[in-house]
Each structure stands twice: as C-alpha cells, then as structure tokens.
C-alpha cells in the first residue's frame, strides 16, 4: 500500500526547528552555518505557503493580519532576547530593528509589489481609503515612537523619560488596536482587493477554501516556520556580526540584515499577491507589518525596560529622520490616487537603496 504523501512545507519547518534546538547556544562551524541558512530559506518559503492557506480560509483582510502579527510577535521576542543578552548595540537594537522594518516594508515591499504588479498592466489599482488609513497610522506611530525622543529634553540623549515612554506605549497599543478593529469590522471593505475597473472584490476565491483541519494544520505549521525563521536568523547572527566587524561596518548593519531575513515571508507573500493582481493585499502586508512592528515593539520594550540593563535609545538621528519623512511623503503621493505606476515603484526602491547605503556608510 502506498504511503501518504508528506509535503516539504510540513517537513522543512520541523527540520528547521530541530536544527534550532540542536544548535542553540553553540558556536557553529562554517558547514553548520550553511545548513542553517538552507533550512532558514526553506522555512521562509513554507511560512508563505501556510500563510496563504490560512488567508484563503479566513479571507481578507484577516489573512494579511495573521501573517503580519505572527511575524511581528516573534520578531519582538527576538529583540527582547538580544537586548537581555546585552552587547554594544543593545541600547539601540529596538530602534534600529523597528526603523529597518518600517523602511523595508514601506519602500521595499511596496516598491517590489508595484514592479511585479505593473508587469501585466501599466497601472496597478488598490483601495485608497484603506491604504491612506494604514499609512496615516504608520506615520503617526513612527513619529511618536522614534522621532519625538530625539527632541525631548526631560532626559539626556535620544530616549524617553518613564512617563513619556508609558504614554508612547499606551498610544501605540490604542492606535494599533483601533486600526485592527476598523480593518476587520465596519471598514473591512477598505482593505479588500480592487479590480482593474475600480470595483472592490468580495474576497471570494475561485478555488474551494481549505477544510478547517487543513487550515488549523497550516496555522500551526505557520507558527513553527516563523519560529524557525527568527530562531535560525539568531543562530546565523554571530557569523553576520563577525563579518560586519571584519568589514569595519557599523553595528546597526546587523539589525538591518536580520530584519531583511525576518521580513522575507511577508515580502514573498506580498509579491505573490501582486502577481495575482491583488495589490491591496500587498499594501495590507507592507503597512500592516510596519504598523505591527511599532505598535507591538514599543509597548513590549516599555515593559521590558524595567528589567533591561542600560538606557533605551529610541530616537533616530538626523539622517534617519529625513529618510523617514521622505518615505512618508512619497508613500502619501503613492497611495492617495489609488493607482500607481512603475515610476512610483522606482522612487520607493531608490529610497530603500539610499537607506541601505547610508546604513553601511553613514
């Protein structure tokens, strides 16, 4: 009798977590680092697959929300773990990681999605109401959490005083919670895909949705895959740190590289949605990931700062503030019309390239 087929999307995440359990806390040789990297890439692809299964079952915008929140929750856990372990970059790790996530999502994911979406048509369409609401929330959270600390005077350096940090944390939670409530409630139609003729899709798929059992299995495997992504990114981070130090690059580059690895599942999911003509889903993933990164990281770090050693620097420097302001301005000009062309993609990708260049050569 033929044995039932077991998909690689189920096997690879389990293998990656097993590798994580074996290699955690050890100094890995080069060959082991290579194996971890291969399993990391496989876990990323598996996470995208299982996220799509869950999204197909629950519909939009819930599907995008599942992936964005799941990735961010594990990302926050990684940030806290790295900060507790200390190190030269611990006091700026949360800021560097969150800022990298905002720039990568709002420029990299948005730009790549528009490039892919315009391959089959000269213009991509999306719901301007939903995109504007998401972008406004991202801009507010970014400014309150990472720009304002640079200019406060109660405490020296780019950090909040305890009351200011508590206010920023509570505000971030409230705004993020309000956005999610509107996205999944009375304004759900703002975040559904838009057809080329401007009509909002009803979210129905031509293919039959997966069963409840298959959806639950994919949800569990999605969490396993995301744990594997973040955990194995942590395993390879010492190798990355040594390479960065050997090259004489700033320590913040480590955070950028790890952010790029962690955001791979969302990037691939967004690009695939753009290939299918569902640009709104790509924007939901991009802005939703940026929003979740800030809205969940700041409150968590605020609570963790009670036990964390050393100061917590959240304020950006002048160059990063300029990049953030320009990113918000360009994103507004992209989303307000509800349509975008290859030119907008080029501008967003140019901003991402500028950020990466300045991270390597400040």
User: What is the rounded distance in angstroms from the CA atom of residue 344 to the CA atom of residue 361?
Assistant: 26
Run of H or E residues at 29? none
Bridging pattern class, strands 339-340 and 124-125: antiparallel
State residue 235 phi and psi, 5-degree precision: -65, -40
- What's the average pLDDT block by block, 10 residues per block, for the chain (362 residues)? 63 88 78 84 80 75 72 72 63 83 94 91 87 93 92 85 91 90 82 62 57 85 83 76 77 77 82 88 89 86 77 87 95 92 94 93 84
Contact 221, 51 (CB under 8 A): no
Q: List phi, psi (to 5°) of 340.
A: -145, 150
In whole angstroms, give the CA distance from residue 89 to residue 95: 10
β partners of residue 339: 125
Give the DSSP letter string of 66-84: HHHHHHHHHHHHHHHHHHH
Q: Is the peptide bond before 61 cis (omega within 30 degrees of 0)?
A: yes
CB contact at 8 A, 44 and 233: no
Residues 127 and 191 sit within 8 Å (Cβ to Cβ): yes
Instruction: Quote the CA–CA distance of 225 and 262 in Å, as a whole number.
Output: 11
Question: For residues 263 and 103, is the Cβ–Cβ distance under 8 A?
Answer: no
Interacting residues of 134 by C-beta distance below 8 A, sequence separation 6+ = 179, 191, 283, 284, 287, 288, 291
How confident is the model at residue 87, as a pLDDT? 56
Q: Is the model's pTM score more than 0.85?
A: no
Going by C-beta distance under 8 Å and a sequence separation of 6 or more, which residues neighbour residue 272? 48, 52
Domain parsing of the chain, residue ranges: 8-360
Radius of gyration of the chain (CA): 20
* Helix H or strand E encompassing 38: helix 30-58
Pull the structure tokens for residue 298: 């700041």
Q: What is the C-alpha separation between 337 and 53, in angstroms, rounded? A: 31
- For residue 238, the model assigns a pLDDT of 72
Rounded-to-integer distance, Cα 254 and Cα 245, Å? 10
For residue 134, the Cα-to-chain-centroid distance in whole angstroms is: 14
| CATH tag for 8-360 (out of 3.30.930.10, 1.10.287.110, 3.30.230.10, 1.20.1420.30) | 1.20.1420.30
Angle of helix 62-84 versus helix 30-58 axis, rounded to 10: 150
**CA 117, CA 273: separation in Å to the nearest integer?**
9
Residues pairing with 240 in the sheet? none
Question: By the 8 A CB rule, do 109 and 317 touch?
Answer: no
Q: Provide the token pair at 48.
A: 């995208």
Task: Write the DSSP string, 202-225.
Answer: ----SSPPPPHHHHHHHHHHHHHH
pLDDT of residue 4: 47
Q: Can you give the pLDDT at residue 208?
A: 67
């Amino acid at each position: 009798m033929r044995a039932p087929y077991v998909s690689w999307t189920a096997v690879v995440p389990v293998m990656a977590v097993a590798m994580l359990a074996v290699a955690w806390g050890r100094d890995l040789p080069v060959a082991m680092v290579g194996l971890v990297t291969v399993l990391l890439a496989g876990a990323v692809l598996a996470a995208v697959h299982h996220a799509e299964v869950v999204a197909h079952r629950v519909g939009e915008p819930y599907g995008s929300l599942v992936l964005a929140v799941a990735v961010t929750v594990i990302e926050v856990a990684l940030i806290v773990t790295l900060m507790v372990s200390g190190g030269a970059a611990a006091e700026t790790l949360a800021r560097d990681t969150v800022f990298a996530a905002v720039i990568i999502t709002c420029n990299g994911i948005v730009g790549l999605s528009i490039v892919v979406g315009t391959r089959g048509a000269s213009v991509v369409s999306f719901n301007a109401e939903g995109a504007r609401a998401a972008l406004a929330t991202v801009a507010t959270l970014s400014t309150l959490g990472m720009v304002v600390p640079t200019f406060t005077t109660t405490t020296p350096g780019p950090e909040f005083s305890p009351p200011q940090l508590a206010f920023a944390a509570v505000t971030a939670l409230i705004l993020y919670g309000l956005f999610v409530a509107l996205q999944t409630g009375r304004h759900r139609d703002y975040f559904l895909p838009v057809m080329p003729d401007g009509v909002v899709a009803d979210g129905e798929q031509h293919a039959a949705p997966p069963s409840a059992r298959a959806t639950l299995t994919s949800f569990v495997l999605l969490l396993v895959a995301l744990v594997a992504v973040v955990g194995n990114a942590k395993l390879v981070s010492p190798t990355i740190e040594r390479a960065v130090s050997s090259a004489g690059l700033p320590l913040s580059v480590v955070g950028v590289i790890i952010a790029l690895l962690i955001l791979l599942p969302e990037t691939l999911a967004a690009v695939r949605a753009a290939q299918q003509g569902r640009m709104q889903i790509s924007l939901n993933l991009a802005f939703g990931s940026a929003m979740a990164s800030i809205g969940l990281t700041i409150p968590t770090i605020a609570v963790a700062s009670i036990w964390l050693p050393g100061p917590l620097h959240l304020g950006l420097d002048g160059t990063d503030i300029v990049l953030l302001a320009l990113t918000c301005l360009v994103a507004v000009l992209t989303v307000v019309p509800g349509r975008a062309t290859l030119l907008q993609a080029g501008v967003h990708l140019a901003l991402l390239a500028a950020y990466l260049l300045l991270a390597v050569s400040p």
